[in-house]
């Protein structure tokens, strides 16, 4: 196992390097965007004089590399600075948003992942049956509509017609877990519908792919029942791509849900990031961007390690 530990350590170290690269990339991106914070906030009312005064106050008149290094030295000491626009501490700004984002992601994942994997397994087991086809068509139809449109349809049915769930996911107005689950049910359901198809189809494809291997044929000739073949022989060997696609979708649930946040007015990190990019609020963009990047990296390291553990050949090397 020391080999694995070394691997984990080296991957985490690499993750830190990746984070640096991401932060530099985001910084360059914001610098390249047309307009700066002063222009974005003053908008139509800007004049050359007020822009200059605003920039001086924010320190935007400093050369870019100095601003970046200044920010970086703060971060290394654990200080993410203040939002340029609202002068609030970035850490404070992020904390509630972060909790909201993680809550919604967990809500959707806890439901979506098991359903997707089980459906995928069943579809592979009962290949080309009515079940396989209808699961397939249902899942495909769900993902072939834009997220906001799925959300609108769910709102039409569950809020306007039936009146069961609210259209605004106002998590700030509830104080019990049950209340929170109720308030955020529609955004969670939207996300579940969006991610399920991808994971289900990949599970099915990976299993079917393995079913063609000679050792499966062997097992089957030995008279092992079909479900046992799928579960004991095919699944372990198909785990790597399944784990990867789950990791991708988990990452998506955390970092990619800005459209759902907008439709349900849910105060998550995605909207914060879009707002911060729109106003060129660099410390906020960096902090959210780094969190997203960190999440993504950790999920991937986890996925890679699990893939290795699931494949004896990779586990022991050669």
Cβ 219 to another protein, closest distance in Å? 14
- List the interface residues with another protein, window 120-149 (CB under 8 A): 127-128, 133, 136-137, 140-141, 143-149
| Candidates 62-70, 105-113, 174-182, 202-210; binding stretch for another protein (CB under 8 A) | 202-210
Q: Which residue stretches of 33-126 are H helix?
A: 37-42, 48-58, 64-76, 90-125
Distances (CA, A) of 208 to 130, 159, 240, 311: 17, 40, 14, 17
Closer residue to another protein, CB minimum distance, 71 or 120:
120
Helices (runs of H) and strands (runs of E) counted in the chain: 16, 0
N-to-C CA span, the chain: 15
Which listed residue (1, 2, 49, 175) binds another protein by CB under 8 A? 49
Please state, in angstroms and rounded to a whole number, the distance separating the CA atoms of residues 285 and 277: 6
Cβ 283 to another protein, closest distance in Å? 12
Cβ 48 to another protein, closest distance in Å? 8
Distances (CA, A) of 286 to 27, 38, 104: 7, 18, 22
- List the interface residues with another protein, window 257-286 (CB under 8 A): 258-259, 262-265, 267, 270-279, 281, 284
| Candidates 59-67, 79-87, 114-122, 227-235; binding stretch for another protein (CB under 8 A) | 79-87
- List the interface residues with another protein, window 86-115 (CB under 8 A): 86-88, 93, 96
Which listed residue (54, 68, 107, 282) binds another protein by CB under 8 A? 54
Q: Which two tokens stand for residue 210?
A: 């393995």
Q: Which two tokens stand for residue 20?
A: 């640096």
| Candidates 17-25, 67-75, 104-112, 174-182; binding stretch for another protein (CB under 8 A) | 17-25
Number of chain residues interacting with another protein (CB under 8 A): 112
Please state, in angstroms and rounded to a whole number, the distance separating the CA atoms of residues 56 and 110: 48
Window 203-242: contact mask with another protein (x via CB under 8 A): --xx-xx-xx---------------------------xx-
| Candidates 59-67, 109-117, 199-207, 228-236; binding stretch for another protein (CB under 8 A) | 199-207
Cβ 226 to another protein, closest distance in Å? 10
Closer residue to another protein, CB minimum distance, 94 or 113:
94
| Candidates 34-42, 63-71, 109-117, 227-235; binding stretch for another protein (CB under 8 A) | 34-42
- Residue 173 DSSP symbol: G
Please state, in angstroms and rounded to a whole number, the distance separating the CA atoms of residues 258 and 103: 15
Distances (CA, A) of 111 to 38, 49, 148, 277: 44, 55, 20, 32
Look at residues 248, 306, 237 and name the one whose alpha carbon lies nearest to residue 8. Answer: 306
Provide the 3-class DSSP secondary structure of residue 82: strand
Window 148-167: contact mask with another protein (x via CB under 8 A): xx--xx-xx--xx--x--xx
């Amino acid at each position: 196992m020391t080999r694995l530990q070394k691997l984990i350590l080296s991957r985490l170290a690499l993750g830190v390097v990746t984070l640096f690269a991401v932060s530099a990339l985001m910084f360059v991106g914001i610098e390249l965007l047309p307009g700066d914070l002063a222009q974005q906030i003053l908008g139509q009312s800007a004049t050359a004089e007020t822009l200059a005064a605003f920039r001086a106050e924010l320190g935007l008149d400093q050369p870019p590399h100095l601003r970046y290094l200044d920010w970086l030295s703060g971060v290394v000491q654990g200080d993410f600075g203040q939002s340029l626009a609202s002068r609030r501490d970035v850490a404070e700004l992020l904390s509630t948003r972060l909790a909201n984002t993680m809550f919604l992601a967990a809500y959707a994942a806890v439901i979506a992942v098991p359903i997707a994997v089980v459906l995928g397994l069943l579809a592979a087991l009962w290949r080309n049956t009515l079940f396989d086809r209808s699961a397939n068509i249902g899942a495909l139809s769900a993902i072939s509509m834009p997220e906001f449109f799925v959300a609108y349809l769910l709102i039409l049915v569950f809020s306007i017609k039936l009146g069961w769930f609210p259209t605004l996911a106002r998590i700030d107005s509830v104080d019990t877990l049950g209340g929170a689950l109720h308030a955020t049910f529609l955004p969670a359901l939207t996300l579940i519908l969006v991610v399920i198809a991808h994971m289900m189809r990949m599970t099915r494809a990976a299993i079917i792919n393995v079913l063609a291997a000679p050792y499966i044929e062997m097992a089957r000739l030995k008279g092992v029942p079909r479900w046992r073949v799928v579960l004991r022989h095919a699944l372990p060997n198909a785990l790597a791509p399944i784990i990867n696609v789950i990791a991708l979708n988990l990452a998506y649930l955390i970092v990619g849900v800005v459209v759902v946040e907008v439709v349900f007015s849910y105060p998550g990190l995605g909207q914060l990031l879009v707002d911060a990019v729109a106003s060129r609020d660099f410390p906020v963009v960096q902090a959210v961007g780094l969190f997203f990047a960190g999440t993504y990296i950790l999920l991937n390291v986890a996925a890679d390690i699990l893939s290795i553990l699931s494949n004896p050949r990779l586990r022991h090397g050669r």
